A and B are shown apart, each in its own frame.
Chain A
């Protein structure tokens, strides 16, 4: 056993921890820098600015360039600005395939305030991606400012560290957590770690696979040993049992810590904060809004409720204010005089005291009983 340990230790020492240093290829377009060798198709208007290259398109366009296919690309990262969101693509060409065979995946430029970054984990699409051309597709009638484009991969030691970090990275408590939990994931770069738990693609990242490998190997070892040395059955079973129990406890530590991280987050954002400042998970201050509305509508059978989305707010409002029932703004049979408005800054009170939205008058004159913030308030008509 001891020689085996020594050999193992030496092997670990000689692992090429720094042989593959992180590799990065980067092109910056800020400070009016013009990068050579970039080509465009689709005739977009290009303008070099202090912040980067502004691309304005009339038709679908591609900004791309040839690169040396010397390193696998794990992550493509783009710093950009977009006033209006745009759905573009990331293109690449695999060496040895016909020149016109460009591969592409969707790339979403969401609206940014200042410079935003979109990172694409290419390992989701191909484990080792070599490309001799890389390009960004911009849809027609879009305007995107590109500040920086970089291609990256990581060394073995960095990947190992990332794998460890990702295993201990926790998901947040969501409404769906009562139905399923993603569980521990293992990924090998920071971009993939940032994107964990946000896409429905769990198998490739599931840490369960590594547990299963260990279980299979240990079981195979135990079966082989018992077969070879039946007299050692008790000792082998004990070792196998201890290993399986340790794996279970490790899994429990991981998932139990995630469970406690839900509590910690609730404490940090909800329990420890004063009313008016506290938020509850992804629901912002809605629960306090609903609790504030409740006494104001208790003497009404119905009240009008409007929010940016029907789910989950309508059901929650009904639960909070029952027996007063929320209903929609277009009433024919009932006269409903009270409005609970949540996060609808388009609904405002005009000079006559009416509620209006985009110039359309919604109510008779009335008064705001309580305002939580701009766009969130309780309003009651004064007409009798």
Chain B
């Protein structure tokens, strides 16, 4: 069993993430302990893989165990020393933001919670067994995510082209994706000294658990623990999300980064103290920047919507006089600098190597024409299959029933995100050749997997607002 190498492989990326978060909080911590470690793993992996990419492209390292480790160690040392230096300069740490009280549950309710937790745990264990114990199965595993990881592992460099068999050369297409997912697999394989299917896939479970934990803590900031647990349970019980999160694909991984960026912005909106608000905004800037280095959709679909909502959120904060102009400029500078650091090198690299910006298909040369069958396919996928349990009818119903809450900041952050991204995709499906992704039921639902944590968080916020007796508010 080489799975014990997973925690070894996570150690330094997590440390890097932890130091980066601590530096950005600047003595005003806003994250609960488990949430901090969860974000440390999430952002630390993507950060170190991005730096490894830069180092390799600049000719500083090769994708070997020593090369990848040196990036992690150097980053951890640099961030760690900076953190220790800054810690002395910062004023004494302020207290963590208080969480809403959680009244004790009745015995019957406790039994239900325990049973659902046990049931969810069994499913997670089953998913982990399939993830780490079965051979490569789905197309994008052996054609893309794991294949590219193995390619980097074998060639020890950022290879964009390789022989795809039958005299074909694979270039462009999926090679245009950011390499966080395959490169972390390469890192694990270099630790093991072999390409071990179970080990390289095990990281997806970490991302899945991180998403569940982030959803819990995001909700916990606003509501009692039972509701937050309920929201987490909703995400774990979305059938297609469960399948995707326990498959070596990257949509659940992207959903984690989308949610991290959005939930940190949400944290800024609901913070009562200015120093907490700025901590959240700085963290949100880092999460948004690293989102770029996850999948192509992040750049063309998620980032513009996030920036639009950031703009609207800041306007709301400015109007309510919760933020002053100089702090606003500082927060904006963090977003701009962090995003620039990731965006500029990555886009330049893409342009230099003529890599497309779409989801493995270029979005620049699409012709527009009405596509038949898309509406039916979307309706079936959304309402009549088992992909989303009862998420959509309940969400639509609650968007109507709790419309005041849904379309008012801060909850409107999640509502707006869903609306903009979902409605923004529809023209692509209805008027371009990307319609095949909906009609053949290939990529359409996976696009929604990326939004699932946002959707269940919104559902839980609305349900809590609608069903909780007003006297308790």
Using a CB–CB distance below 8 Å, which chain A residues touch chain B?
A: 175-184, 202-203, 206, 208-209, 211-212, 215, 219, 234, 237-238, 240-241, 244, 247-249, 251-256, 258-260, 262-263, 266, 270-271, 280-281, 283, 287, 305, 310, 312, 314-319, 322-323, 325-328
Contacts and interface: CB of A to CB of B under 8 A. Distances in A.
B127 A208 contact: no
B134 interface: yes
11 contacts: A175-B139, A178-B446, A179-B441, A211-B390, A247-B390, A248-B237, A248-B394, A251-B389, A256-B239, A281-B137, A323-B155
A203 B466 CA distance: 31
Nearest to A238: B467
B280 interface: no
A182 B467 CA distance: 31
Given A244-B390, A280-B135, A328-B167, 7 more contacts: A208-B386, A208-B390, A237-B466, A248-B390, A315-B142, A318-B164, A319-B147
B239 A181 contact: yes
Nearest to A203: B384
A181 to B, nearest CB: 4
Contact of A182 (B137, B385, B446, B466): B385
B386 A255 contact: yes
A177 B243 contact: yes
B380 interface: yes
A180 B441 contact: yes
A11 to B, nearest CB: 28
Interface of B: 116, 119, 122-123, 126-127, 129-130, 133-139, 142-143, 146-147, 150-151, 154-155, 162-167, 234, 237, 239-240, 242-244, 247, 249, 380-381, 383-387, 389-390, 393-394, 397, 441-443, 445-446, 463, 466-467, 469
Contacts of A262: 126, 130
A258 B242 CA distance: 12
B387 to A, nearest CB: 6
Given A248-B237, A266-B134, A183 B387 contact: yes
Contacts of B136: 287, 316, 319
Interface of A: prevailing SS: helix
Contacts of B446: 178-179
A178 B249 contact: yes
Given A212-B393, A326-B165, A256 B237 contact: yes
Most buried by B among A219, A248, A328: A248
B386 A327 contact: no
Given A180-B441, A180-B445, A237-B467, A327 B385 contact: no
Contacts of A266: 129-130, 133-134
A267 to B, nearest CB: 8
A280 B138 CA distance: 13
A234 B129 CA distance: 44
Contact of A263 (B130, B167, B463): B130
Given A281-B137, A328-B166, A178 B466 contact: no
Contacts of A305: 165
A252 B385 contact: no
Contacts of A260: 122-123, 126
Which of A181, A252, A256, A260 has its CB near the most chain B CB atoms (within 10 A)? Answer: A252
B239 A259 contact: yes
Nearest to B120: A256
Given A175-B138, A241-B463, A271 B133 contact: yes
B154 A318 contact: no
B441 A206 contact: no
Nearest to B389: A251
A304 to B, nearest CB: 10
B149 to A, nearest CB: 10
Contact of A178 (B126, B138, B385): B138
Contacts of B443: 179
Query: Looking at chain B's contact residues, is the secondary structure mostly helix, strand, loop, or mixed?
Result: helix
B206 to A, nearest CB: 19
Contact of B165 (A248, A254, A255, A318): A318
B237 A178 contact: no
A259 B390 contact: no
A247 B389 CA distance: 10
Nearest to A333: B167
B376 to A, nearest CB: 9
Contacts of B249: 178
Given A183-B386, A237-B466, A244 B394 contact: yes
A318 B247 contact: no
A227 to B, nearest CB: 14
Contacts of B129: 263, 266
Contact of A322 (B147, B237, B239, B242): B147
A270 B123 contact: no
Contacts of B164: 318, 325
A191 to B, nearest CB: 22
B40 to A, nearest CB: 29
Contacts of B166: 310, 314, 326-328
Contacts of A322: 147, 150-151, 154, 162
A240 B467 CA distance: 9
A180 B234 CA distance: 18
Contacts of A208: 383-386, 390
Name the residue in A248, A270, A318 with the highest tally of chain B Cβ atoms < 10 Å from its Cβ. A318
A69 B114 CA distance: 56
Contacts of B387: 180-181, 183
A310 to B, nearest CB: 8
B133 A183 contact: no
Nearest to A287: B135
Contacts of B127: 259
Contacts of A247: 390
A323 B150 CA distance: 9
Contacts of A219: 397
B165 A325 contact: yes
A243 to B, nearest CB: 11
A314 B247 CA distance: 21
A317 B165 contact: yes
Given A179-B443, A266-B133, A184 B243 contact: no
Contacts of A176: 441
Q: Which of B123, B150, B165, B394 has the most CB of A within 10 A?
A: B165
B384 A202 contact: yes
Contacts of B154: 322-323
A322 B155 CA distance: 10
A189 B168 CA distance: 49
Given A179-B445, A256-B237, A271-B133, A206 B167 contact: no
